[in-house]
Each structure stands twice: as structure tokens, then as C-alpha cells.
Amino acid sequence: MKVLRVFVSSPGDVGRERELAGQVLNRLQGEYIRRVKLEPYLWEYEPMRATTDYQGNIPKPSDFDIVICILWSRLGSRLNEKYRHADGSPYASGTEYELEEAAESFTKRGTPAIYVYRNQQQPMIPIEPEDVREEKVRQYKALQNFVERWFLNPDGTFRIASNTYNGLADFQDKLESDLHKIIEEKAPPLPESPGARVRFGTYTKGSPFRRLRAFEFEDAEVFFGRTKAIDDVLNAMQAQAAADCAFTLIFGGSGSGKSSLARAGIMPMLVRPGVVEGIGLWRWATLRPSEGASDIFAGLAAALMSKTALPEMAASGTSAEDLTRALREAPGGVPLLIKTNLAQIARDVQTKEQLNAPPSARFLLLVDQLEELFTMADRFPLETRKRFVAAIGEMARSGTVWVLATLRSEFYSGCEEIPELVTLKSGQGQYQLLPPTKSELSQIIRLPAIAAGLEFEVEAETGTSLDDALLDAAGRNPGALPLIEFTLDELYNRRRDDRVLTHAAFRELRGIEGALETAAEDVFKALPPEVASLFDVIFRALVTVEKDSFVRRVAKMDALGQTAERQHFLHAFVEGRLLVTDRDEQNRSVVQVAHEALFTHWPRLQQMLQADREFLRRRARASAAFGLWEEQNRDSSYLWWSGKLLTEVKTLLARSEELDAREQEFARASVAAGESAKRKRLLAAVAALLVALAAGVSGYLWWNNYREAGQVRALRAQLANVLAATPPAPYAVSDLTRRILEKVPNDSETWALQAKALLDQNDYAGFDAALDRWQHNVSPKPAKIDALRGDKEMKQDRPLEAIKAWSAYLRHPDLDIDSRRASWRKLASAHAKLGQWIEARDRLTEWIKAEDNLEARVQRARMNQQLRDWDAAQQDLERAREINPSDPQVKNFGPIMGENKKIEELNEQVEKSPRDPATWIARATELTRQQQFQAALEDIDHALNLDPDSVRLAIEKAHLLWQLQQSIPDDPGVLVSENWTRDKDKFPSAFEAAEASLETLGGLDARIAQQPENVEAYLERGDLLNHLGQFSLAIRDFTRALEIDSRSIQALQHRASAYRAAGQTQLAEADLRRVNELTATSTPQTP
């Protein structure tokens, strides 16, 4: 078999790229395994891990078939004096030597093929310490000189081609594309043989898909699709470490892949020697708060002494108990203990590997699923949570420990109750993980299959490949990542003997939405009736409610599996990988649901949970109350011994078999305290009655009650007068309702008025406290609480939380049509704010079914328009006209519907010329005019795929993301503000000017694409970008002009102007000094 040897040359500042290059080569080996053998050579370690003459240990690049050189901010360390150019001058670095040696060979022999990649991102150069800054600047200048010498001709044109990239994902795409081409050129064709259909892969450990489990550290070789997120988080972590607070929080929705990203993406990359420049040794630990059972500090201690962490601590005399005590009581001393152990480990490595110096060492701690601090409040009361965060904060500020944490978005607001956590994640200490893009989903679906030697079936009748069908299905459901993995694993289990995943299996599973239900039902229906009957009781033990969401609850196996039937049930679902088992820090077996996707995608379980929501919520509240009772040394005042709370606890005790030991103890103690208080009250009442009868004061008591009732009537009259004002004064309403509720605490209507008044004043803490007191005093829970909670979430710009609250409100059975109408309207608005047009349309459809009305019809027409369902939009508009043809909403909609014909014409153009970016841009422009920003964004993304270097498209995309209130990528440095408005109704002249500027920009993009060495084109585009306030992009164009013509005074002057506008005064002055120098040398001297 033909062998292709690949040499990767890279200084120490591109460790991530070097690591990624190895991964790409390994993946391509699986793809071409029957045609060629790839032998990569990557110099993975810094000089600190080598002998003095490390270059002598590296083979010559000229002996390889392919040489890859990666450059960013430095050339690397100087070589031994014996390595010299032909003219006798020394090489500046090993990189220079390797590249020149390979180039000389290519000139003489036509081999190796050389690929150079240059990172265009600005390097991180610290201000302090001075010597480090000066060395980094020296290295950067040396690299720039090397680039000019190697890649540019004296006239400024390029002598040798190089590829530029922005970020790790861009590097990966370009490298993989280039390697595909060169391997196809050099590899022999696949031989035709009886075994030609047999597929092989580099991954041989079974299924490359992880079903409902998170990807783990050891799964890194089949974890794909998150390169950009890995790069972004690593950048944030390094920035935080440089700021002396090495803490980074990844937050995102349930099922967004946070744990997998941290465990299989970031950790395996980070802990490779040299990925972080200068760091040659890592130890690491992973912790979930629930793994600590009742003592989170014991769990953290166990993690710190685990196999990949610091098991050596035990040998040095530190016991787990000692470390637990230190973490709980004196966390400030723990970082020193870690540092001391790491230093000894580094010295041992130096001795073992005969190094010149011990490698610099760091420790990585991953705290996964940090939300368990909040969902398990019974185990981790507030004070415990604060102490735990203080402990990891001490580590993060030590300079030795890097802390990475993951958190579900729903619990992000919980950070506010722990000030130290807010401080830790400030700066660049947090990263929001969004659902994967379509291209990322493509990698998630296809690349693990390639690694495992699998193939997706192509349907003969339609020509549709199964991976395309999966990608289309996943694209319709952005939160479907867990379902995709589950479906892929089910398809793997049903694969053909020739390792093909089939359409028939996909149909049998009923698509990605039905796959989870199908598998769960198969397990359930296979159970004997007496075992299946345990479904409710077992799953209730594995679920709890937090912030109105169903979340996983860990249960002990010995408590849950007390009978043979229960053990049978648990075993069946564990075998089906719908439940997972583990061991806690006391080595006891525990069980939990594999993923919370089961709660929303298995109708049988979903229906049961909805029916038992109130029981689960009460049990969760009692569990949290137990934790507070424990924290307060079992003070009886923290028990639920009176009123509504006592009623709740008695209800729970009626199902005591479904409470754990702590919950039962708390419930029984509350009932006992309630009985004791009742006896005391009875005795006191009898005594008071006897005294009253003796004193003859019964008439006085009657008069006192009558007088208090009169005071309440007077307050209510004042409140009615205030409410009659337009608008009512919220401060007066909150004061009067407070005084009324002091005397009548069970008045639900008054509580609602007070909560709304507090919300109108933006008093969110007072609002939350009012809802808590309202729920405490009025039983059952008033439905209005959920509606008001939704109003608060929306007011604080949290539409997802608002949707949950309003949806809960609509589940109340006794709502009148006015209340439902208001909720449907609000839900549609919240879904639309999130770009969830289908969900918004569904809410409006519910409203129309209940009462057909003009407002709902017009709003649904707008949703259908966003979904490009023109016929449905037209039908809704016609029905709205029938209801009231003179209504302004209907009249204003007319011109918009007329514009749909333009969209239809543009649709035809796109279908005729799908490879022409101009057709996508034209349709995006029209959609933007109609304020259909999400649809326009999709078209701009299509155009960018066809023309990735277009500056015009980059600006268009950034502004559309801004309109949709989505995060805007840092690259390519687009600035967005309300000054550039795209609202044609409010600012028609500005809108037209913006459109004209973009069209001009598009023309310059095309001109530069055709004439990439045209200095004037770059200057013109830079001037336009500068005029538009896009200073970073303008600077980039002027810099490119200077790369072509380094003596262009015009380019220097224009770049100085852009630098000054961007606030980079020193760089502007440097350009102007260079202008003076060039002017002086070009001016003729008079004699």
C-alpha cells in the first residue's frame, strides 16, 4: 500500500492547530484506509521537552511527501549554530530551517508538496511583564520579516502562495480541503475486488454515537462539529488565566451539548502538552455536584485525588478526609497543596525523560452540570453553595488551577444568589453555547460514521442519501441534538451486514422525533404486566421539578430496587440505555435518567409527569426545605408545621413510599410540630376564654373586630379611587394593597394587584417575595401567579422563561376566554421574539380555534409570511378582511402581501441559479425590506457559503443577527449599532442609503475577487467601510493594500485615519511617521 508521509512544522504558539492537524490526518486515514497509509509527524512538544539540539532529533522535511507549516505570532526558538544557510548565516528558527529545506527539495525534485497556513487573528501580547511583552513583539516582528522575505517579491506581489485563516474552525476546513485534494492526486484508485464493499475505519470500539449519554474524554476521536466553540472557549480560558481568574462558565439550553463540549472537546485538546504555549504537563479532574451525594466537598476531594488528577497526594500524607475538611473550612490552603504536588510530579517527569528543566504544570478542574447546586437544594443549601463556589474561586485565582464549568441556561439566574460566582464569570468568563449550525450538524452526523467505517444508504428511487435526510430533519428542530445522537445509535444497531445505515431503519424508527419514543416503548412493552405497573412509581423517583422544568433526580439503587419486580424494571431500562447507573463517593450504586430529552419526547412519560406535576413540585419544595432545616441545626421554626404548608406535608405523607428518607423525616417532624402547636393553641384559647368570661369583655372583642373590618373597607375604597386613575400610580397601589393584606392575607385579588404594581416599578425582588407570600397564604396555588411570573420574565428579556410560565398558566383548567386570549397573544409574541415562527403560529391557531378574530388572523398571516407559506398568509388576510375590511392592520398588510409576488419571482431565480450568490443576495435584500430577518439571514448564509470572502455579506449577516438579537461573531470584526438602521418605515432615506452602500460594497467585492492584487480596489473598499463605521474591516483592506504595495502613501494615510477612528492612536501615529519617511525619501534634494 502506498505510504504518504506528512510533516507538520509549527512554532509553539499554534498548539491547537497542530493538535487539530493530527486529528484531521487521523480522520482522513479512516476515509482513505484502503487506498493509502498516512504517516504524520508532529513535533508535539516544546524545546523544554527535548535535549539541547532538538532539531537533530527531527527528520528532514524533504524526506516527506507533504509539508504543512502553520504560522501565527512567532517563528520559534533559535537553532544550534551548526544549522546555517548556504551563505553561512544562521537560521532564525527551526520553522525557517524546515520550510527552506523543504522548498529547496521541491525546487530540485518537485516534492514535498508544501502548504503554509497563516493565522490572521491578532495575537495576545500582554502589557506586563515588560520582558515578556518585548519578547513577544520581537518574535512577531521577526515573523513579519520572515513572511516578507519568503512570500513577497520586491514589488510587493506574492512569490509563494499561503493560506490565511481566522480561527480554528476555518483552519480545519481549509486544511481538510487541501489534504483531500493532494491525497486524491497521490493515492492510487480503489482496487476492484470481491471485498471492495467492506468498509473500514480508524474507530473500532463499536458505535461512534453516544445515544443519550454525553461524550466523554475518551470519546474525543469521534466528537465532531464543535471546533469553533472549542476555539472560542479556549480563547476565553486563556484570557481569564491571563487576568488571574482562570474560571470559565459554559451555559446553554438543555441538550445543547455543554457536557460533551467540555469533556470530549475542550479537555482533550487543552491538556495536550504545548496546546497552551509553555505548558508541558497537565493533570485534570471532573466533578458533578451530585457525585458528592450529601457532601459536595467530599466529592470535590475525591475528584482532586482521582487517577487523572493528583492520586500522589495520598502518598504524601494527605487523606481524603483531610482534603475534604480543608475544602470546607480553609479552602485558601488547597491551591498551595495542588501546586506543591504538581511541582514534584514535574520534577519526576524531568528525571524520567532526562529533560533540561521540569515542564511547567497546570491543573484543570471541570465542574459539570453546575445547575445541580440549585436543583439539589436539599443537599446543597445556600450557605453550602456559597462555600463551594468560594473553594473553586480560590483555585481559579491561584495561577495553577484552571476551572471550567457548565450550566443550563434555565438556572443562569441562580448565579445571582452567589456573588462570588458572578465575580468569577465576569470579563470573558462566560460563553453561551448555541445549538449547532447546519454545517456543524453535518459534521456531527457524517464524521463519526466515516471514522467507524459506516456508510449512509442512498435511496434508489429518490437519490436521497440518509445523511441528507437526517440533516434536513435535524435542521427543522434546532434543539434536537440528543435526538440525533439517539437516532444515529439506533440506526447503528439496525445497520446492514455491510455497515450501511438504511432508510428502512429510519422509517421504522419514525424519524428523529419518533426514535426515542419507539425505543422506549419497545423496552416498556416487553415487560411483564406486574413489572410494567411500576412505571409511575419508579419514574417519579427519578424526576423532580425545578423552575417549572422537569429535571433528573439521582436515586440509590438499593432504595429504588427493593423488590425483584423493581430490579427487573430498572435492569430493562438500563440495558436499553434509557437509564444509567453510577457510583457515588461512598461507592453506592445510583441510577438516573440518561437524558432529560426523555421527559419531552416520550409521550407516555410526558403524560404521567404532567399529571403528577403538583406532587413532584411539592416533593421538591419539601426536599429543599429539609436542606434548610438541616443547615439551621433543625430549628423547629423551619418545619412546615402550620397553615398551607402543614396541609402540603400531610398530602406528601399520604404517599410516603415515594419520599426518600430525608423527606420522610422532614414531613413527620413537621406534622409532629404542627400537632404540638395545635395543643398549645388549644390550651391557650381555653385559658383566654376563661379570662375573658371572667372579665366580661366579649362585647369589646366584637367591637374590635367590627372596627378592623371598617378599616379594610376604607382602604379598599381608597384603592378603588387609585385604580380608577389613568394610569394608576403603582407606588400608591403597592402601599394600599400591602396595608390591606396585613389584615386580610388570603385575598388573592389584592395579591395580584400588589404583584403587578411591584412589577410596574421594576421591583423584581419585591415581586418575587409577594408571589411567595401569596402562594403561602392562598391554597390551592392561584393560576394568576404563573401569568404574572411570565410577565416578569418577558420584561427582563427572558422569553424562554416567559414561555414556560405562560404555558403553565394555560394548563389551569378554569381560565376564562379573556385570560386565554391574553396568554395566546403573549406566547405568540415571545415565540416570535425567539424566531420560533412555527410555535408562534401554533399559539395563534389555538386562539383562532377558540374564537376567530381579526387580530389573531393578522398575526398568524405574519407568522406564515416569515415561514414563506404565502398561500396560508393570504387565506388569513382574506378572512381578516371579511371580519373588518377597514381595519388599519388589514389595510397596512395589503402592500406587504403584494410584495410576496416579488419573493415568488426571486424564488424562481434562486431555483434556476442556485450557485450564483447574486440571486440569494437579491432575495435576502427583499426579505430584509419586508423585515423578515430570519429568512433573510438564511439566504445570506447561503450566499456566504458560495462567496466566503465577501465583506458586504459579512456586514449583512451581522446586521441581521443584531435585528434578531442573536450573538454576532467577533470575526470579521463587524460593528453594528442603531445608527445603521434597516427600518424602512421609520427611516426610509437611511434605509435606501444603506442599501446603496451595500450594493457598492458588493461591486467592490466582485472586483477584488477578479483582481486580488488591485491596490486601488482595496483602497476604495476600505474608504467605503471607513465611511460606514466598519473600522476593523477598513484597516484590514488598507493592510492588504500595503501587503501588495508596501510603499503606498495613500494606503498608510487611509489606514492611519481608520486607526484613529477606532481609537488606536499609537498605530495611527506609526503609520503617519512611515508616511513622513517615505515622503522624505521620495522628495528630490535641492543642491
233: nearest Cα among 215, 254, 252 = 252
- Kindly write down the DSSP assignment for every residue of 56-94, as one continuous string: GGSPPGGGSSEEEEEESS---PPPPTT-B-TTSPBPS-H
Mean of all residue pLDDT scores within the chain: 82
Residue 980, SS3 per DSSP = coil
CB 583 within 8 A of CB 589: yes
| pLDDT tens for each residue of 520-562 | 999 999 999 999 999 999 999 999 988 678 888 888 888 888 8
Fill in the amino acid letter for 311.
P
Residue ranges of E strands in 223-280: 247-252
| 649-655 LR contacts (CB < 8 Å, sep 24+) | 649/622, 651/615, 651/618, 652/615, 652/618, 652/619, 652/622, 655/615
CA–CA separation, 1057 and 1062 (whole Å): 9
199: nearest Cα among 455, 537, 406, 457 = 455
CA–CA separation, 214 and 261 (whole Å): 9
In our burial notation (b when 16+ CB lie closer than 10 A, e otherwise), range 411-439 reads bbebbeebebbeebbeebbbbebebbeee
What is the structure's pLDDT at 161? 64
| pLDDT tens for each residue of 704-752 | 554 556 677 777 877 887 777 656 667 678 878 888 888 888 888 999 9
- Residue 525 has φ and ψ, to the nearest 5°, of -70, -15
Please compute the mean of the pLDDT values over residues 1058-1065 and round it to a whole number.
73
70: nearest Cα among 163, 178, 201 = 163
Residue 341, SS3 per DSSP = helix
Q: Choose the weakest-confidence range: 205-209, 434-438, 762-766, 1007-1011.
A: 762-766
CA–CA separation, 985 and 29 (whole Å): 56
* Band (988; pLDDT cuts 50, 70, 90): very low
Predicted confidence (pLDDT) at residue 972 exceeds the cutoff of 50: no
508: nearest Cα among 527, 495, 524 = 495
CA–CA separation, 773 and 758 (whole Å): 14
* Band (240; pLDDT cuts 50, 70, 90): very high
In our burial notation (b when 16+ CB lie closer than 10 A, e otherwise), range 284-317 reads bbbbbbbbbbbbbbbbbbbbbbeeebbeebeeee
* Band (940; pLDDT cuts 50, 70, 90): confident
CB 973 within 8 A of CB 1028: no
Fill in the amino acid letter for 1087.
P
For the record, the C-alpha cell of 69 comes out as: 507549516
Share of the chain above pLDDT 90, in %: 26
Maximum pairwise Cα distance, the chain: 128
Alpha carbons within 13 angstroms on the beta-carbon side of residue 807 total 17
For the chain, the first-to-last Cα distance in angstroms comes to 75
* Band (931; pLDDT cuts 50, 70, 90): low
What is the structure's pLDDT at 510? 86
| 38-41 LR contacts (CB < 8 Å, sep 24+) | 38/3, 38/4, 38/6, 38/183, 39/3, 39/4, 39/5, 39/6, 40/5, 40/6, 40/8, 41/5, 41/6, 41/7, 41/8
Please compute the mean of the pLDDT values over residues 441-455 and round it to a whole number.
91
Instruction: List all residues 6 or more positions away from 637 whose beta carbon is below 8 Å from its beta carbon.
Output: none
* Band (588; pLDDT cuts 50, 70, 90): confident
Cα dihedral 168, 170, 176, 181, rounded to 10, equals: -150
Predicted confidence (pLDDT) at residue 698 exceeds the cutoff of 70: no
What is the structure's pLDDT at 941? 80
What is the structure's pLDDT at 572? 92
For the record, the C-alpha cell of 375 comes out as: 436543583
Instruction: Read off the pTM.
Output: 0.60
* Band (67; pLDDT cuts 50, 70, 90): very high
What is the structure's pLDDT at 1087? 31
CA–CA separation, 572 and 579 (whole Å): 9
- CA 991, distance to chain mean position in Å, is 34
CB 398 within 8 A of CB 319: no
Predicted confidence (pLDDT) at residue 781 exceeds the cutoff of 80: yes
What is the structure's pLDDT at 405? 97
* Band (861; pLDDT cuts 50, 70, 90): confident
Please compute the mean of the pLDDT values over residues 778-797 and round it to a whole number.
89
Please compute the mean of the pLDDT values over residues 48-56 and round it to a whole number.
46
Cα-based angle 918, 923, 927 (whole degrees, multiple of 5):
145
Predicted confidence (pLDDT) at residue 314 exceeds the cutoff of 60: yes
CB 270 within 8 A of CB 261: no
Predicted confidence (pLDDT) at residue 904 exceeds the cutoff of 90: no
Residue 316 DSSP symbol: T
Residue 465 DSSP symbol: B
CA–CA separation, 750 and 743 (whole Å): 12
Predicted confidence (pLDDT) at residue 1070 exceeds the cutoff of 80: yes
Predicted confidence (pLDDT) at residue 83 exceeds the cutoff of 90: no
β pairing state of 455-456 and 555-556: unpaired
What is the structure's pLDDT at 556? 86
Higher pLDDT pick, 85 / 247: 247
For residue 114, list its beta bridge partners. 67
CA–CA separation, 502 and 63 (whole Å): 44
Q: Choose the weakest-confidence range: 251-260, 415-424, 883-892, 977-986.
A: 977-986
What is the structure's pLDDT at 443? 92
